[in-house]
Amino acid sequence: MQLIVQPSAVGDATVTVPGDKSVSHRALMLGGVAEGRTDISGFLAGEDCHATLTAMAAMGVHVEQDTDTQITVHGVGLQGLKAPDGPLNLGNSGTAMRLMTGLLSGQSFTTMLTGDDSLTGRPMQRVISPMLEMGASIDSDSGYPPLTVQGRFPLRGIDYTLPVASAQVKSAILLAGLYAEGVTSVSEPAVTRDHTERMLESMGVTVEKSGNSIQIDGRQAPRGCHIQVPADLSSAAFVMLAALIADKADVRIRDVGVNPTRTGVIDILQAMGADISLENPRLFGHEPVADIRVRSSELHGGQVDPSLVSLAIDEFPVLFVAAAAAQGKTVFSGLGELRVKESDRIASMASGLRTLGIRVDESADGAVVHGGRFSGGVVGSHGDHRVAMSLAIAATIAQGPVTITDTMSVDTSFPGFVDCLVDLGVQIETDT
């Protein structure tokens, strides 16, 4: 599938975006091993989250999907999962594979985790290493999927320092920590998203935090609860960008999760001159939520603070387009983690922007993006949903139509992306 986008006048609008992918994954997994029933509203009905749902069902968790976004999970307790009949295919989801590795490390059976070509090309050694220390046995293809996880119960509690900031690895260790004897502690070099900690607390599990360390005492049983999933800030970022680079737009995005471990994209855009405000702040359970209001703005380049990288790791394709539309040059550094996402996102974005007439100077862990004007053309997404959507937003202010190829992956995180852009006034169509 490909997207064809015409230069468009984005106008005033109030929109919603799908539920948070990170929260949806965690709600399914923790709900599955909780005592009792977990009702999930606002669930992200994307391919990644459906892969997690299918995997939990394959291990004996009864899941009712009342609507696309309303899910009921009947928990089986920490020791209630059963060995699946075959490998668990997690599609394109690195989050599902890393978190599932932690969850399965505490089981008393062996499971194979696999995925599509993109996922089997993503490194997993950073999650394998702590699981081995905790007592699980994991076979891999030199640190790459498929992974064969031979669980052990109980695991050993460990004190682990993450070599690289990673919410996925941190979460995997905390999930495994539920099955461990004693205390499991994780220290991170930079703050990362804390959805797992917040959800554990909402399910009655005590999580202790001290500085950059998070601790969990093993053998605590999560209790089922109601989880209202906020709208995904990573998806909202595309709408924010469309409004910011438009001539004259005033856009509101409702019920967006604004967890402070996720709002680096807002901080970076505001530093570039973006007019972004948070309205009607409130809580969905333990998760902060607000309506985001964005007005068209004159953006300017600068040096992006590397300390914000871990708070905006999924939004850098958006930020590369913002930099390309800004005055001057923008310097990004500390982005080495982007090289091993669904695609090499530094290279993918640099290639796409160059095709559209923007100068980009790559480095090993970043890039310098020089502001300019987007030309029309045909660009590849490299099968990466965030690259595809970011380039589609760039196309709204291009000098001619832009075709983005290989965009089937968009539905992994933002089902309804095209309809949402149409609501903003974007002329966009799909072509198979």
Catalytic residues: 314
Give Cα separations from 268 to 223, 301, 315, 347 (angstroms): 37, 10, 10, 21
Closest of 362, 308, 365, 361 to residue 337, by C-alpha: 365
DSSP for 159-213 reads EEE-SS--HHHHHHHHHHHTTEESEEEEE-SS----HHHHHHHHTT--EEEETTE
Q: Where on the phi/psi map is residue 382: left (φ > 0), alpha (ψ -120 to 50), or beta?
A: left
Helix axes 233-245, 264-271, angle to 10 degrees: 20
First-residue to last-residue Cα distance in the chain? 4
Instruction: Let me know: does 79 contact 153? Beta carbons within 8 Å.
Output: yes
Alpha-carbon gap, residue 405 to 383, rounded angstroms: 8
In the block, residue with structure tokens 């360390």: 213
